[in-house]
Amino acid sequence: MKKTSTRLADGRELIYYDLRDDTVRDAVDRRPLDRTVTTSEIRRDPLLGDSVAVASHRQGRTYHPPADECPLCPTHGDRLSEIPDSSYDVVVFENRFPSLAGDSGRCEVVCFTSDHDASFAGLGEEQARLVLDAWTDRTSELSHLPSVEQVFCFENRGAEIGVTLGHPHGQIYAYPFTTPRTALMLRSLAAHKEATGGENLFDAVLERELAGERVVLEGEHWAAFVPYAAHWPYEVHLYPKRRVPDLLALDEAARTEFPQVYLELLRRFDRIFGEGEPPTPYIAAWHQAPFGALEEFDGVTRDDFALHLELFTIRRTSGKLKFLAGSESGMNVFINDVPPERAAERLREVASS
């Protein structure tokens, strides 16, 4: 992998990740852009104890542009985009309309391919591995920023999820705090460790799931399963079999196998609802240990946390979505219409031939 860092016309950082070591990236952003002005502010809820990012400048972000005006496609002639070069493998750049900025963290966009009509599931293994390497590199770089406590790599896919740009891409949020969902995991981890005399909760969950009926697919170094208490109609958790706290700690064997397992998982997601259905909307979310102090979680260290990816769709059946209504949005109590065992069975049924 070759990494080339440059700057866009408004000063934002852009990084090319290339498969070939001899690739030259010297194209200049020719757009007449003013410096990006953001209004991001983090406000803490005193009752719930969580944080909300207030970012009013995002109201003006690019919204469903036609394909020939996509800002994530390469620049061609006078058609200028966020990527100055006429081609690329993988690109990461600072979001022009970030939810988090400055002392409030950082937001980046990850373009998985220059092909506007592609999807992550359609990438080759070499390209998918390059994306993994880019995620890993950005996790490392962002973790060293003084304002960053946790790095979150994710992909929103599909208009139903709220995606406003059709080009295959994901995002990276670098938070200045430990996110509420991670804090819940760490509290459960600490309580289980104390109650069992030192047993790791992530290890116990993975062992139980691998021995049960909800395994979707399994490789030598990775395992995917529908969790016992899945929140979403079709939800799969992907774990490396050797517990590591973050993407940086994956060994080469796990990195090599990841594209095979993950691409197969995504392709199965697109087959859940049968032939002729539109691509399955989903969220793919990497959970990594925070880089900040963990004193509030008694007896827990970063090495106790287990890196894993959670993949889920809001589509519950053909033509119908799972909406977060009263119980889910009002009280955070999910109601799942699809038994996890049936979801796992369906995901095994649609395996590649």
Q: For residue 151, give the 3-state DSSP assignment.
A: strand
- Enumerate the H helices of the chain as residue ranges: 125-143, 180-196, 201-210, 252-269, 331, 340-349
Catalytic: which of 64, 144, 169, 237?
169
- What's the CA gap between 152 and 190, in Å, rounded? 22
Distance separating alpha carbons of residues 207 and 156, to the nearest angstrom: 29
Assess contact for 223 and 237: CB atoms under 8 A.
no
Take residue 192 and report the two structure tokens written for it. Answer: 């289980």
Residue 83 DSSP one-character state: B
Cα 63 to Cα 164: distance, rounded to the nearest angstrom: 5
Cα–Cα distance list, 1 to 142, 172, 173, 245, 260 (Å): 19, 20, 23, 23, 19
Half-sphere exposure of 260 (CA within 13 A, CB side): 12
Q: Is the dihedral of CA 61, 67, 72, 78 positive or negative?
A: negative
For every residue of 15-82, which 3-state class applies, written as one string? EEEECCCCCCCCCCCCCCCCCCCCCCEEEECCCCCCEEEECHHHHHCCCCCCHHHCCCCECECCECCC
Active site residue 169: yes
Report, as residue numbers or ranges, the catalytic residues: 169
